[in-house]
Amino acid sequence: MSTTTSAVPVNDVSATAVRLAGIGKTFGSGADAVTALQGVDLDVSAGEFVCLLGASGCGKSTLLNLVAGLDEPTSGELVRPTGSPSFMFQESALLPWLTAGRNVELPLQLSGLSRSARRARAAELLSLVRLDGLADKRPHELSGGMRQRVALARALAAATGPDGTGGGVLLMDEPFAALDAITRDVLQGELLRVWDATGTTVIFVTHDVREAVRLAQRVVLLSSRPGTVVAEWQVTERHGAVGEQLHDDITSRLRQVIASHAA
């Protein structure tokens, strides 16, 4: 299932970055217990781009929290990425009292990197997301799309570590959902370019089938309440009739899953 065609630029297919085997997560106990995840099996290879697709209540946030180490599973076996986790949210969540550059530096600062080294690395990452020379701007002086790119640079700083070899996983929780259509379109292209350039592993949560098909190498469909994996698709191409076909397949399956919750 996880083998991909060689045309796709995958840095190291053999290594597993994240492994979830029979993962379950229940909140509370007794009559009030809520099962968010049940029997989730998912392997993500290093350097892979996986989209998790699901309606509300599919436990995607819970899943990301587990992978990030913010929460522990109730059952199952979980292999976490070796590097530090890094998150990107729907809102950029930049610290408003720090400049763009200092925001990117923060994860490096917390991991104890020297001032000059982290400044150099932050400049490098800002240039990667095409924000050269804007390190001294405050978040409120930037547009929504620019803020999201600063957040991407910060997440990359956390995921790749000081020298760019941290091997962390980028966890993205609908990062483009709050942007306007044009900006979202351009940023999706940017994300692919940055992913190509850095080779990080990406787990990307979205409600948007088109976004999933455009971005991912593999689309994983989750059911809701409790969340579990119901289907997976390999995406080997992005344009043309086959892409449309795939989009329609995934959409109809997603609708089936949603309809099954009617009762």
Partner 1 sequence: MPPETSLTKVSPAADTSAAELAGLDALDTPTVTRTPWWRRAIAVGLPPLVALVLSIAIWQILWAAAIWPEFQLPAPITVWQAVESRLLTGEVFSILWTSISRAFIGFLAALVIATPLGLLVAKVTVVRRAIGPLLSGLQSLPSVAWVPAAVLWFGLTDATIYFVVLAGSIPSIANGLVSGIDQIPPILPRVGQVLGARGLTSARHILLPAALPGYLSGCKQGWAFSWRSLMAAEIIAAGPLLGVGLGAYLKQGSDLNDISMVFSAIVLILVVGIGIELLVFRPIERRVLRARGLAAGV
- Which residues lie near partner 1 (CB under 8 A)? 5, 7-9, 68, 70, 84-87, 89, 91, 93, 95-97, 106-107, 109-111, 130, 138-146, 154, 158, 182-183, 186, 189-190, 192-193, 196, 217, 233-234, 236-240, 242, 246
Q: How far is the CB of 144 from partner 1 (least distance, A)?
A: 7
Between residues 54 and 166, which has the closer beta carbon with respect to partner 1?
Answer: 166
Between residues 158 and 224, which has the closer beta carbon with respect to partner 1?
Answer: 158
Between residues 176 and 233, which has the closer beta carbon with respect to partner 1?
Answer: 233
Between residues 14 and 97, which has the closer beta carbon with respect to partner 1?
Answer: 97
Between residues 30 and 112, which has the closer beta carbon with respect to partner 1?
Answer: 112
Q: How far is the CB of 262 from partner 1 (least distance, A)?
A: 28
Distance, in Å, from the CA atom of 31 to the CA atom of 197, rounded to the nearest integer, reads 49
Q: How far is the CB of 77 from partner 1 (least distance, A)?
A: 23
Q: In what order do the strands lie in the sheet with 16-27?
A: 34-45, 16-27, 75-79
Between residues 33 and 95, which has the closer beta carbon with respect to partner 1?
Answer: 95
Q: How far is the CB of 93 from partner 1 (least distance, A)?
A: 5
Q: How far is the CB of 89 from partner 1 (least distance, A)?
A: 6
Q: How far is the CB of 66 from partner 1 (least distance, A)?
A: 13
β 16-27/34-45 pair status: antiparallel
**Where would I find the beta strands (DSSP E) of the chain?**
16-27, 34-45, 49-53, 75-79, 86-88, 169-173, 201-206, 218-222, 229-234
In the numeric block, which tokens belong to residue 152? 């991407």
Of 139, 135, 113, the C-alpha closest to 122 is 135
CB 35 within 8 A of CB 222: no
Other CB atoms within a 10 A radius of the CB of residue 114 amount to 11
Dihedrals phi, psi of 127, to nearest 5 degrees: -70, -35
β 16-27/201-206 pair status: unpaired
